[in-house]
Amino acid sequence: DALAALANQVPTVAVKLGAEGGLVQRGEERVTLRPFPVQVVDTVGAGDSFNAGFLYGTIQQWPLAKCLQLALACGSLSTRAAGGTAVQPTLAEALHIIEAQK
pLDDT at residue 5 in the model: 86
Q: Is the separation of the CB atoms in 77 and 45 below 8 Å?
A: no
Tell me how far the alpha carbon of residue 24 is from its chain's centroid. 9
pLDDT at residue 50 in the model: 96
Distance (Å) of CA 72 to CA 40, 68, 92: 14, 6, 14
Q: How confident is the model at residue 1 (pLDDT cuts 50, 70, 90)?
A: confident
- pLDDT tens per residue, range 26-84: 998 999 999 999 999 999 999 999 999 999 999 999 999 999 999 999 999 999 999 87
Q: Is 101 helix (H, G, I), strand (E, B) or coil?
A: coil
Q: How confident is the model at residue 16 (pLDDT cuts 50, 70, 90)?
A: very high
Give the pTM. Answer: 0.93
pLDDT at residue 13 in the model: 94
Q: Is 52 helix (H, G, I), strand (E, B) or coil?
A: helix
Distance (Å) of CA 29 to CA 37, 50, 65, 73, 93: 25, 20, 10, 21, 27
Sketch the domain layout of the chain as residue ranges: 2-100
CATH classification number, 2-100, choose in 3.40.50.1950, 3.40.710.10, 3.20.20.70, 3.40.1190.20: 3.40.1190.20
